[in-house]
């Protein structure tokens, strides 16, 4: 089995799904000469009617996929940086997410909005914001955040086959640096099934996307101190596999949540609320959050680094709970 | 240095009273009469909706199309099976012109379980994908990228269909207008954009809002044809849209059609209309009523007599009455449906069923 | 002292601040003939250069106030329905909220974005969504949610005098129906100071905006059962008066949070997370949330009503904690 | 029915090689030399930035303006004290043309504490309100409503100032373009829109993205003058912008100026440029280099000799070198500033200080 990077895995998923189903097409800015390699080669293979480059027009992209889905297609839109989606929020939220319900159930809208979040490349504030919390606040959307190349492929295929608008979030640092074994077979990874990336009995660490790597790093440090952390990657936050999380928390009695989005009203807050609701009596300490402070991402790389969670912070948060 | 001066490019305005075109565009007698009936179904349906609203027998944000019937009816008459439209907050006319039934429409306006949307949408969200009606829309301009997307779907698959996109003069100032049309123009997608310029965006006149006399002029920005039609002249409307639809179907790309029209009623039901005079409305009712214009044309063409038209009116009134009865007799939606149909194949939390 | 409705109180605040400071101006769609009366009469009084009607162009409005603030003005923009702000999210979030920080502190951006949230008028999903959680997730914005006419006036004046972009949220039902005594004097209500609307010892109910009324109604019912609820209105959620909340929770040991936005990643989740963090050992039961279920707002008024919290649900949630 | 046909409205393209205009527009010798120096400051600054980037001595998303210097320099030379500009992701040229110092610019590109933004912004966000530079911008098209807003501020207060708005050909396809210009046109705000059409939006050519040959044609949609200028001809650029600025200052409203230009470097530093040929770039460098064009003009006008220009070059190179030294010698920002300056007068939680 080949070891692939996340962008290679995503590329494979797109190629397989486009080959498998004529109704699948891709649309976005500059997807012919893909900046991060995700769509590389697909234009040559599938041609300009399946890999559609658009003008710099996010509203048009977001709305066009909705219209195309309404007439039976299965579009995959790309927004390079997640912050650009702010230019198209009405189409994604007021239109795509709500239409099925408003129409009394009639619409079937298989849309994938692919986008890229996360810090770590000195792109500064307007190219770096993780907005999963916004989308998770919107009924009608599913939110996917893979943390490995294997999951990236399997979850993208599930997203394309899903009959709902899916926000598929990729991480800009992981594209090239996260690599693992990815079969070239036609497998999918289901929505709503968390992955327990490490088992442990002392504390549960829930990480989102790249922060799973940070959580695992922290767990290694903690193990040296005799603290065994269980690391959970929800993989999709809508739907959320709460069972796996609650089972783990009931075992460990402590939980730390790590994500890159801003802490205030981030998805970590929702996790805390749900965990407290479902496992209150099992908790030995309040759930802790390690997330971006409430600050736009600074350009300077030292500051940028300080603005996202580190393994040291996660380990520190765990130690705080063990006292 | 080259100067692009606006005067060089202004176009003659086609607004003002209809100059009845008597080109029947090859339409048969029965087709013409169907078009008359469709306009009348819109008119009588909405007149009744207004009464019911004032009697508090229905509720919500309701925007009437009365006075603009020629636009939707003329335009949709140029479509074929499999073609689609996107609509606006002022969508009843578009729905009826696409052949939707009055009873489930009325039921939807009443929020009933038997409505097109099971009461979840109301006036601003009626949709019937089976009829090619992709949805009324509460967001001004939002239908433009959506119908562009439907056309994109046809283009990708090679389906020989066309999307019609209705929107208002106010919508022509939204970013969605620019992006949607520009993208469609670039790929020559099979979509026809119909700006229903009824003179007002809510309480603001188009003269206040728009720095040029004709919105059709904006076609120049996208390299597509722009056409101005008097909306109360249904035959002119049909002719313009059919030309544009044929063009679109032939792969020659979009057209921007501006229908000069006028809404006889307020912006929404309950609008006190401080922004215009009674005289202005009365004048439009007298000179630009698409029903009056077409009724005269049908008689002039010898297609129908006043008696024929009166009989149609009775049939339509009857149909409308039955839609009211249907709506009122229908049950409220069951409370159980609050949390259904948020997702396809999943519960309200997105969990696969 | 006159009893005024919220819309009258807001109108008074706008009139006073425009009279007081030449740099204050208003901009929006249809603000001359105001639908809900908030801007009524101001065009006549201050003329078309201070009360500026725009085309239906939300991006232009949101960006124009940022530009105007950059050259020294103090604009107040109106977006009729909060859902329309989705058309302008880039200008509000990527631009207005982030500029000061990105510029290293140089910009002073006194902007008020007035908008209207809440359900209750059968406007259906595209005209009914409460997005305070989105904005609270964005560093650089302040979020104001008054629940009385008195606070509406005082907080709007504070917002106009604040040197930051402020999201000022009004409730569509309260405009006409919520009335209380409003002085015609020049008073302000400070940001970050919660209002304890009812004192009690058994449970703390935190309500946002109109839900304060629901909370008070629930408290009345509960009082009949011998349960004394303390009702807290944070009034501004950024900044948040956590002290008042924590003090109350430490006293009552139980808390219920009520808001109209969707429950999932709503501001209630953040409140739970903060309360658990700061008062874990004082809690006798997990904090409960009563909020909109994760469903776009339905049109039908029975369903619409079911989609927002009721006093009965709040009382029920409290009873659930008392067991 | 009135047809608006695009052909009726197309304008002659002004693109292609500069036809050196020798109208010096009343500019004094020293003004002309200052303009040359400004262009050279942009060029030499960025050449050095490129080297530093390749040596990993600075980092981030960096977009070079090399080849386009005539546009910013010609345009900003038409401004007065108190006027403002909005800029783009490709903002160094606009900054330098507005008189910003090279040292704190270079420091900002290095993320240093002494940078214009104390290292919080980087290349895409340099701003200096004291210079009337309202900010580079990482979001395509976003500056358009912002400069419209600055002009609105001037209009509200009666301040006799003008806003200049720079944006690219790609930005002309954004909703923000449409809404911003349309609104400005309606109120006749004092703003001049300058589209820097450098032929590409990232990796896509303007021909692919835009269904009409000239973006200036879009002025017709807003009833404002549209002008096409060859951007490598700084005198033509100055003339066109001065006319537009005078018009704006006189209360006659906005102008849309399209500068036909070309970027000699990749879209960003690191761009492998698969979308164009080396020949195309070489041809532009040979025929449309604003420095070469202006250098010839200055000599032709007898304003400067090659020796004079070489001396200026030495001075500029020296200034650039000092900016590099300044930047490299400057400290990284203190970690304490991570959480400052999120709000004015409040801590990072928005609590009043
Ligand atoms: C994005 C957005 N902005 C504002 C509104 C409020 N609104 C509803 S209808 C309307 C006027 C629309 O005017 P026009 O497009 O001319 O359509 P008409 O009502 O005249 O048919 C406005 C401003 C809205 N629904 N959506
Ligand atoms: C809203 C938005 N969409 C996409 C991008 C990504 N992007 C950055 S620069 C660019 C091309 C812009 O082209 P143009 O406006 O012609 O400016 P140029 O780079 O040629 O100067 C794109 C697509 C962005 N920054 N913002
Ligand atoms: Mg209108
Ligand atoms: Mg360009």
d(CA D163, CA C68): 11
From B200, B201, B207, mutation site for ligand 1 pocket: most ligand atoms within 8 A of C-beta: B201
- How far is residue C19 from each of residues A271, C16, C62, C150, C188, measured CA to CA in Å? 47, 5, 23, 19, 15
Number of helical H runs and strand E runs in chain D:
12, 8
* pLDDT recorded at residue B303: 97
* Sign of torsion over alpha carbons D78, D264, A87, C169: negative
> Residue D162: inside a domain, yes or no?
yes
Taking only residues 231 to 250 of chain A, the set having a beta carbon closer than 8 angstroms to any beta carbon of chain C reads: 238
d(CA A321, CA A204): 11
ω into C239 cis (within 30 of 0): yes
CATH of domain A2-182: 3.40.50.970
In chain C, CATH 3.40.50.920 sits at 195-322
> Residue D341: inside a domain, yes or no?
no
In chain A, CATH 3.40.50.970 sits at 2-182
* pLDDT recorded at residue B13: 39
* pLDDT recorded at residue D10: 38
Mean pLDDT of chain C: 97
Tokens linked to D286: 């040979």
**Is pLDDT of B6 > 60?**
no
- Give the DSSP per-residue string, A281-302: GG-SS--EEEEE-SSPPPSSHH
Question: CB C125 to CB B125 under 8 A?
Answer: yes
Q: What's CA C62's distance to the chain center, in Å? A: 19
Quick check: CB of B202 below 6 Å from ligand 1?
Answer: yes
Tokens linked to A247: 């089972």
Q: Are D209 and B186 in contact (CB under 8 A)?
A: yes
Average pLDDT on A104-123 reads 97
Chain segment A205-221, per-residue pLDDT in tens: 999 999 999 999 999 99
**pLDDT by position in tens, chain D (length 353):** 566 544 444 343 344 444 545 899 999 999 999 999 999 999 999 999 999 999 999 999 999 999 999 999 999 999 999 999 999 999 999 999 999 999 999 999 999 999 999 999 999 999 999 999 999 999 999 999 999 999 999 999 999 999 999 999 999 999 999 999 999 999 999 999 999 999 999 999 999 899 999 999 999 999 999 999 999 999 999 999 999 999 999 999 999 999 999 999 999 999 999 999 999 999 999 999 999 999 999 999 999 999 999 999 999 999 999 999 999 999 999 999 999 999 999 999 999 99
* pLDDT recorded at residue B10: 39
Mutate to test the interface with A, among B108, B140, B153 (most CBs of A within 10 A): B153
Q: Are D170 and D202 in contact (CB under 8 A)?
A: yes
Average pLDDT on C160-166 reads 98
Residue A78 appears among annotated catalytic residues: no
Residue corresponding to tokens 């007439």: A71
d(CA D214, CA A21): 39
d(CA D172, CA D85): 17
Give the number of other Cβ atoms within 10 Å of residue D240's Cβ.
28
Question: CB B217 to CB D217 under 8 A?
Answer: no
- How far is residue D13 from each of residues C304, D221, D281, measured CA to CA in Å? 57, 18, 20
d(CA C286, CA C276): 8
**Is pLDDT of B5 > 80?**
no
Q: Which of A16, A17, A78, A127 is catalytic?
A: A127
Residue A58 appears among annotated catalytic residues: yes
| Residue B84, H or E segment | strand B84-86
- How far is residue D316 from each of residues D93, D310, D311, D319, measured CA to CA in Å? 15, 10, 9, 5
**Is pLDDT of C295 > 80?**
yes
| Residue D183, H or E segment | helix D175-187
CATH of domain A195-322: 3.40.50.920
SS3 of chain B: helix, strand, coil, percent, to 5 = 50, 10, 40
* pLDDT recorded at residue D21: 54
Given the CA of residue D142, which atom of ligand 2 is nearest to it? Answer: 1
Residue B267 Cα to ligand 3 midpoint, Å, equals 9
* pLDDT recorded at residue D8: 40
Query: With 0-12 CB in 10 A as exposed, 13-18 as middle and 19+ as buried, what is B12?
Result: exposed
Domain that holds residue B193: 14-331
* pLDDT recorded at residue B3: 64
The DSSP 8-state label assigned to residue B231 in this structure reads T
Residue C142 Cα to ligand 1 midpoint, Å, equals 28
Strands D84-86 and D2-4: unpaired
- Supply the residues of C annotated as catalytic: 58, 127
**Is pLDDT of A236 > 70?**
yes
Strands C195-198 and C165-171: unpaired
* Angle (CA) C116 C119 C124, round 5°: 100
Residue corresponding to tokens 């400070």: C190
Selecting from A84, A295, A299 the residue whose C-beta is nearest the C-beta of D122 gives: A299
Give phi and psi for C3, each to the nearest 5: -90, 120
* pLDDT recorded at residue B54: 97
Chain segment C25-43, per-residue pLDDT in tens: 999 999 988 778 899 999 9
Which residues of A are less than 8 Å from B148 in CB distance? Answer: 60, 63-64, 67
* pLDDT recorded at residue D13: 39
Which residues of D are less than 8 Å from B226 in CB distance? Answer: 3-6
* pLDDT recorded at residue C67: 98
Please tell me the distance in Å from B226's CA to the nearest CA on chain A. Answer: 20
* pLDDT recorded at residue D12: 33
B209's CB contacts (< 8 A; 6+ apart) are B169, B170, B173, B201, C54, C55, C56, D186
Quick check: CB of B27 below 6 Å from ligand 1?
Answer: no
Q: Are C266 and C259 in contact (CB under 8 A)?
A: yes
d(CA C5, CA B326): 40
Average pLDDT on C59-88 reads 98
CATH of the domain at D250: 3.40.50.970
d(CA A160, CA A74): 7
d(CA A100, CA A105): 5
d(CA C240, CA D213): 53
Average pLDDT on A278-302 reads 98
A-B contacts (CB, under 8 Å): 174
pLDDT band, residue B21 (cuts 50/70/90): low
The DSSP 8-state label assigned to residue D333 in this structure reads P
Give the E-state strand segments of D151-283 in sequence order: 163-168, 191-197, 200-201, 204-205, 226-230, 255-260
Long-range Cβ pairs for the range D297-300 (8 Å, 24+): D297/D20, D297/D22, D297/D235, D298/D32, D298/D33, D298/D36, D300/D20, D300/D22
* pLDDT recorded at residue A251: 98
Which residues of A are less than 8 Å from D146 in CB distance? Answer: none
**Is pLDDT of A302 > 90?**
yes
Chain segment B120-177, per-residue pLDDT in tens: 999 999 999 999 999 999 999 999 999 999 999 999 999 999 999 999 999 999 999 9
Give the number of other Cβ atoms within 10 Å of residue D55's Cβ.
8
Backbone angle region of B60, left / alpha / beta, with phi > 0 → left and psi within -120 to 50 → alpha: left
**Is pLDDT of C179 > 60?**
yes
Please tell me the distance in Å from B3's CA to the nearest CA on chain D. Answer: 4
* pLDDT recorded at residue B257: 98
* pLDDT recorded at residue B7: 42
Given the CA of residue D89, which atom of ligand 2 is nearest to it? Answer: 9
Chain A: residue whose CA lies nearest to B133: A70
Q: How many domains does chain B have?
A: 1
Q: Are D32 and D298 in contact (CB under 8 A)?
A: yes
* pLDDT recorded at residue B19: 52
Question: CB B176 to CB A105 under 8 A?
Answer: no
Chain segment D52-88, per-residue pLDDT in tens: 999 999 999 999 999 999 999 999 999 999 999 999 9
């Amino acid at each position: 089995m080949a070891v692939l990077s996340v962008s290679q895995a995503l590329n494979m998923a797109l190629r397989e799904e486009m080959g498998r189903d004529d109704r699948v097409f891709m649309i976005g800015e500059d997807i012919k000469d893909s900046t991060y390699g995700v769509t590389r080669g697909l234009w040559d293979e599938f041609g300009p009617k399946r890999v559609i480059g658009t003008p710099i027009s996010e509203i048009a992209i977001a709305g066009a996929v909705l219209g195309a889905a309404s007439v039976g297609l299965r579009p995959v839109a790309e927004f390079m940086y997640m912050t650009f989606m702010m230019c198209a929020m009405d189409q994604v939220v007021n239109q795509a997410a709500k239409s099925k319900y408003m129409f009394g159930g009639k619409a079937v809208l298989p849309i994938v909005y692919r986008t890229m979040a996360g810090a770590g490349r000195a792109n500064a504030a307007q190219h770096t914001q993780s907005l999963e919390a916004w989308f998770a606040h919107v009924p009608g959307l599913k939110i996917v955040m893979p943390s490995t190349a294997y999951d990236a492929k399997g979850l993208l295929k599930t997203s394309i086959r899903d009959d709902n608008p899916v926000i598929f979030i990729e991480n800009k640092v992981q594209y090239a640096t996260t690599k693992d074994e990815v079969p070239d077979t036609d497998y999918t990874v289901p929505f709503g099934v968390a992955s327990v990336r490490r088992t442990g009995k002392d504390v549960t660490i829930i990480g989102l996307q790249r922060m799973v790597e940070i959580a695992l790093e922290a767990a290694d440090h903690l193990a040296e101190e005799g603290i065994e952390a269980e690391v959970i990657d929800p993989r999709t936050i809508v739907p959320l596999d709460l069972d796996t999380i609650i089972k783990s928390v009931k075992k460990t009695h402590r939980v730390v949540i790590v994500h890159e989005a801003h802490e205030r009203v981030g998805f970590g807050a929702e996790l805390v609320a749900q965990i407290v609701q479902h496992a209150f009596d099992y908790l030995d300490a309040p759930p802790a959050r390690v997330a971006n402070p409430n600050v736009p991402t600074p350009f300077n790389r030292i500051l940028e680094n300080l603005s996202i969670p580190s393994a040291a912070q996660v380990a520190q948060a765990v130690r705080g709970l063990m006292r | 240095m080259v100067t692009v001066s606006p005067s060089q490019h202004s176009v003659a305005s086609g607004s003002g009273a209809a100059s009845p075109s008597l080109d029947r565009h090859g339409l048969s007698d029965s087709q013409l009469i169907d078009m008359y009936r469709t306009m009348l179904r819109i008119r009588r349906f909405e007149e009744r909706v207004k009464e019911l609203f004032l009697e508090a027998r229905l509720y919500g944000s309701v925007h009437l199309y009365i006075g603009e019937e020629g636009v939707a009816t003329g335009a949709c008459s140029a479509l074929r099976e499999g073609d689609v439209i996107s609509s606006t907050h002022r969508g009843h006319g578009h729905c009826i012109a696409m052949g939707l039934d009055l009873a489930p429409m009325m039921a939807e306006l009443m929020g009933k379980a038997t409505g097109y949307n099971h009461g979840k949408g109301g006036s601003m969200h009626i949709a019937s994908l089976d009829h090619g009606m992709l949805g009324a829309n509460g967001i001004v301009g939002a239908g433009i990228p959506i119908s562009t997307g439907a056309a994109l779907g046809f283009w990708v698959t090679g389906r020989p269909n066309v999307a019609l996109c209705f929107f208002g003069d106010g919508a022509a100032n939204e970013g969605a207008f620019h992006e949607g049309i520009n993208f469609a123009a670039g790929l020559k997608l099979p979509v026809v954009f119909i700006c229903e310029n009824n003179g007002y965006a809510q309480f603001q006149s188009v003269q206040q809002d728009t720095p040029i006399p004709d919105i059709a002029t904006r076609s120049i920005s996208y390299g597509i044809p722009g056409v101005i039609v008097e909306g109360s002249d249904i035959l002119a409307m049909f002719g313009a849209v059919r030309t544009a639809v044929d063009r679109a179907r032939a792969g020659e790309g979009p057209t921007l059609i501006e229908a000069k029209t006028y809404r006889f009623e307020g912006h929404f039901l309950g609008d006190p209309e401080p922004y215009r005079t009674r005289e202005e409305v009365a004048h439009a009712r007298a000179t630009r009523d698409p029903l009056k214009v077409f009724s005269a044309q049908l008689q002039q063409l010898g297609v129908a007599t006043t008696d024929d038209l009166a009989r149609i009116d009775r049939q339509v009134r009857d149909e409308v009455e039955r839609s009211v009865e249907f709506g009122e007799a229908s049950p409220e939606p069951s409370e159980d449906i609050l949390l259904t149909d948020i997702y396809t194949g999943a519960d309200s939390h997105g969990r696969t069923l």
